Each structure stands twice: as C-alpha cells, then as structure tokens.
Structure 1
Amino acid sequence: MKSLWFLEDVNLFTILCPHQFKEFKDSHQFYFFKKNEFVYFEEDSADKIFLINYGKVKIGYVTEDGEEIITAILSKGEIFGEKAILGEEIRNEFAQAIDKETSICPITTNVMIDLLRENKEFSLKIYKFIGYRFKKLERRLQLLLFKDTKTRLKEFIKELSEDFGYKNVITGDIIIRQPYTQKEMATLIGTSRPTLNILLNELKEEDYLDFDRKEITLKNHRKLVN
C-alpha cells in the first residue's frame, strides 16, 4: 500500500539536510517557528526549499473572496516549497507552522540543485514525488469544487489508505494510522470539525469504517470503489 508520498520510506530530511554534508555543516542553520507563524507568504521570493525536522506545516492560498484553501498538511521528513527548483520565482501559496514548535531546514535553490546533481537516482525520485504531489493537489481541488462533503471525506480516506494504510490479512480490513487530527482533516476537505464528526459517525453506522484518535479502520477495502 506504499506510494511515492513516502519515497519508499525515505526520510527526505535525513538525506538532503545540508547539516549532513561536511562542506555545508558549519554554515547551516535551522529555522524555528511557533504556532501560526508563517514560513513564507504568497508573493514572497521563491529562493529556498524547506525540509521539516519536526512539527507540522500547512500549505495553502487565499482566494479573491478571502477564503483560505488548505492544500496540504506536512510533517517530519517532508519537503515543501519544492516548486522553486522547477523555476518558480514568486510563491503562489503560503506556508504556516501549526504545531506549538516547528523546526525547519532551509536549503537555497542552488544548494538543492547541487545536492540533487550528485545523486541522479535520488533526484529522479524527488521529481517523481513532485509530480505525484501536483496530481494529488489537482484531484483534491476538483473534489472541493465538484463533490459533496461526504464524497470528499470518502475520497480523502481512500487517499489516506494509499499513503498510510496497511491490510489486515485476516479480516481484509485496511488499517490507517491516523496522521491528522480531526481539525486538520476537516480543513483539508473544506468543512467544519462538527460536520466531519457527524459524517464519520454516519460512515461508522453504515459499517464503512470504524475510527478512534489513532486509527481509521476500513471494514472492507472493496468498499473503496463504491
């Protein structure tokens, strides 16, 4: 059930952070953010890529109507701001810390390109990862625009099962180790936490899933295609 989201269980931070390399170690510094502090804003210069050491960061943008749209919530070992190595010069999204304390490794675009150039196999994985994230974002935005909230939730759980799930070989259930709080899940599917809780309980009554704070259990993986 693994996907490119995990890059075959590779923690990007442990491989790409410049403090791992002798030539960069002495000059490299981490950034630290408190809850709700911004790493960058829309329209900022896109001259760095960031790796999360610990904590969580949400990525999103604000519509012309002032509505905040969240496209991703990222945690330890994940990369963001990656469009800078694809030629983006100005940010078209914001990045905001959402944990009490978040530690981030900044990498300038030039240094990142040098690091990737030294390992062609890994650089290929990075570009595949970026392509996967773009597809994931496009799919999520389509759901927000054209699907009802319950359908968005079921599709989101399907996505979680692909990224974080494993199959119980005895029952055929899929167990998802919950990476998000209910508040974060609600944000990602564009609804409120009370509505999310109502829908989760509806799906539980329909025997579609079971859930607690740590796990979501899909009772029968074939229901994903329904």
Structure 2
Amino acid sequence: MKAITKYWFLEGFSLFKKLGMPSMMKLCNLLEMEHVDKGNIIDMGDRDKNCIFFLKNGSVKIIDSENNIVKYVVKKGNIFGELSIYDKDNSSKEVAIALEDVVICYIESDMMEGLMEEYKSLKNGLLKIYGLRIRKLETRLQDLLYKDSKTRISEFIKVFIEEFGEVEKDRIVAKNLLSHKDIANLTNTSRQTVNNVLSIMRKENIIDYDSKFISYSKKTI
C-alpha cells in the first residue's frame, strides 16, 4: 500500500503528533499494513521478528498465551506489542485477538528503536505508553487488595463504557465486545460473579446491555 495511504491511517495517533510530514513519510515507508477479521489471532511472536502494532480501526484484546488470561484491551488509535522493545525475552508470550474487524500497521521493533533514537518525541511517547500500562496493572493489584469483587466489576464496566463508548442522547453506549470470562480475567473474579453483578446492575437500571451493546445513563456517572 502506498505510503501516503499509511500516512492517512496514522494521522490520528497521538504518538506521532510532533513528527512533521517528512518524518511521518519515512516511518510509513517502513510499515506493513494488514486487515484482520473479527475473532482471528494476531500472534505477535510468530513473525520473522518482534513487531510493534498500530491499531487504526477496531479493537483487540491482549492475552497471556501461557495461561490464556486477558491482560488488557486496546482501542483504535493506540498501539500494542511495545513490550518487544523493553522486554525482548517475554514479548512473545502475548497474543492479540481481534474483537472486531481491525486494520493494523506494524513495524519491526529494531526499526522502531532506531526511529526512537532519531526522534525524541517517539521515545518519550512510547515510554509514556509503557508507563501507563504499568500504572493500570498497579491499579488492578490495589483493587484486588482493597475492593470486593462486586465493586471491581461494576467500576470496570463503567470505565470500559466511558473509554470505548459514545454519547447517544442521555446515555453512553459501547459495543459489547467482552465475554463474561474476559471481564472475570480483567477483574480477578469468576465468570459466575460477573454474570450476577451485571444482572443486578441491569435490574437496578444502572446499565443496559444485549449481545451487541452495553450502556449506562449519564445521570449515574
């Protein structure tokens, strides 16, 4: 695909906002692009070399391939696989699964490291993303220590809807992308507990959901 098309795909990424057009075009010439259908696996360790991925459309969940547990969810305009730069030995333990039809661009991590040395804004941007991942993990550990399972699940649902949803009149509506097992993984609870909590939240009119969408009223925020 032409570099100018890749440029258009990467325009929405905050990571590249400080790069000028010439630098962006240089980056685009190094990128590969791929369409992945919903439900398919993006095996980050099954390529010639480790890569960093830029998610233009759709969303993916990142799974620890050793225990099949969901680690986090990535939405469009964000990156994943950055662990291949900072922890080369363990990066192959992650697998991404497309929660929707997605469009990704990817670059070999060695090439990205070279660009990071050339462009300080890229280096700082990736360090910030990596730091946020660690902070979210620390928050999950604190929640596990100090919050009960019902609170962890209900707070996760609200944060997910806010992050992945859009305002429609008086409600925030998101695609219902995660299974109860996924939510259980992300909140360190059981699938049955997730099912019970979601049922209670719906009965109390805190949220509403079906197989396609999940939402809650802005009045409950």
The reply to whether TM is greater than 0.5 is: yes
Give 2:96's aligned residue: 96
> Superposition pairs for residues 19-38 of structure 1, below 5 Å?
21-23=24-26, 25-26=28-29, 28-34=31-37, 35-38=39-42
Q: Which is richer in helix?
A: 2
Q: d(CA) in 1 for partners of 2:152 and 2:93?
A: 22
TM-superposed deviation, 1:216: 2.3
Map 1:1-226; keep pairs closer than 5 Å: 11-12=13-14, 21-23=24-26, 25-26=28-29, 28-34=31-37, 35-41=39-45, 47-62=50-65, 67-91=67-91, 93-99=93-99, 101-121=101-121, 123-140=123-140, 143=143, 148-157=148-157, 159-160=159-160, 163=163, 176-178=172-174, 180-183=176-179, 185=183, 188-189=186-187, 190-192=189-191, 196-206=194-204, 209-212=206-209, 213-217=213-217, 219-221=219-221
Instruction: Write the deviation string for residues 98-137 of structure 1: whole angstroms up to 9, x where unpaired.
Output: 3464332111223223433454345423322211111212
In the alignment, structure 2 segments of 5+ residues that lack a partner are: 1-11
1:89/1:46 Cα in 2 relative to 1: closer, same or farther (>3 Å)?
farther
How big is the shift at 1:82?
0.6
2:90 aligned counterpart, secondary structure: coil
Task: Tell me, in whole angstroms, the C-alpha distance in 1 between the residues paired with 2:124 and 2:175.
Answer: 26
Provide, for residues 59-85 of structure 1, a one-character-per-residue CA deviation record: whole Å limited to 9, x for no partner. Answer: 12155xxx4210112232221111222
- How high is the TM-score relative to the length of structure 2? 0.65
Judging changes above 3 Å, is the alpha-carbon distance between structure 1 residues 29 and 12 closer, same or farther for their aligned structure 2 residues? Answer: same
SS of match in other structure, 2:32: coil
Task: Report the CA distance between 1:158 and its aligned residue.
Answer: 5.0
Instruction: Name the aligned partner's letter for residue 13 of structure 2.
Output: N
Structure 1 residues without counterparts, runs of 5 or longer: 1-9, 168-172, 222-226
**1:13 and 1:57, CA in 2 relative to 1: closer, same or farther beyond 3 A?**
farther
TM-score, structure 1 as length reference = 0.64
**Aligned amino acid, residue 207 of structure 2:** D
Higher relative contact order (CA 8 A, sep 6+): 1
